[in-house]
Amino acid sequence: MALNDASTPPANEALTPLPDARRAFRWHDHLSLWFSLGVGLLVMQVGAFLVPAVGTRDAVVAIVVGSLIGAGLLAWTARLGCQTGLASAGLMHSAYGSVFARLPVVLNIVQLVGWTTFELVIMREGTQAIAKQAFGLSLDSVGGALAATLLWGAVLLALLSGSMVSLVRRFVSRFGLPLVVLSLIWLTWQFAGKLQAQGFDTFWQRQGDGSMGLFSAMDLVIAMPVSWLPLVADYARHGLRAQPGKPGGAFTGTWIGYAVANLWCYALGVMVASTAAPDTTLVMALLLAQGGLVALGLILIDELDNAYGDVYSGSVSMHSLRPRWSVRRWGLLIALVCVALALVLPMHALEPFLLMLSSVFVPLYGVILGRLGGGGVPLPVGRKVDLSAAALWIAGIAVYHGCATWAPQWGSALPALVLTFVLARLTRPTAAGAPSPAVRSHG
| Mean of pLDDT over the chain | 85
Pick the more confident residue, 19 or 355.
Answer: 19
pLDDT digits (tens, 9 = 90+) for 254-292: 999 999 999 999 999 999 989 888 778 888 888 888 787
Q: Burial level of 349, CB count in 10 A (0-12/13-18/19+)?
A: exposed
- Residue 138's CB: how many other CB atoms inside 10 A? 10
Q: Burial level of 210, CB count in 10 A (0-12/13-18/19+)?
A: exposed
Instruction: Decide if pLDDT at 153 tops 70.
Output: yes
Pick the more confident residue, 442 or 131.
Answer: 131
Structural domains present in the chain: 31-351 (1.10.4160.10)
Spatial distance between the Cα atoms of 352 and 196, rounded to a whole number of angstroms? 35
Spatial distance between the Cα atoms of 227 and 39, rounded to a whole number of angstroms? 14
Spatial distance between the Cα atoms of 26 and 241, rounded to a whole number of angstroms? 9
pLDDT digits (tens, 9 = 90+) for 58-115: 999 999 999 999 999 999 999 999 988 999 999 999 999 999 999 999 999 998 998 8
Residue 53 pLDDT? 87
The pLDDT > 90 percentage for the chain reads 47
Closest to 145 measured CA to CA, from 278, 343, 321, 288? 343
Band (pLDDT 50/70/90 cuts) for residue 350 is low
State the DSSP code for 54: S
Residue 104 pLDDT? 95
pTM of the model: 0.88
Instruction: Give the max Cα distance, the chain.
Output: 78
The pLDDT > 70 percentage for the chain reads 89
Residue 125 pLDDT? 86
Tell me phi and psi for residue 244, to 5 degrees.
-55, 130
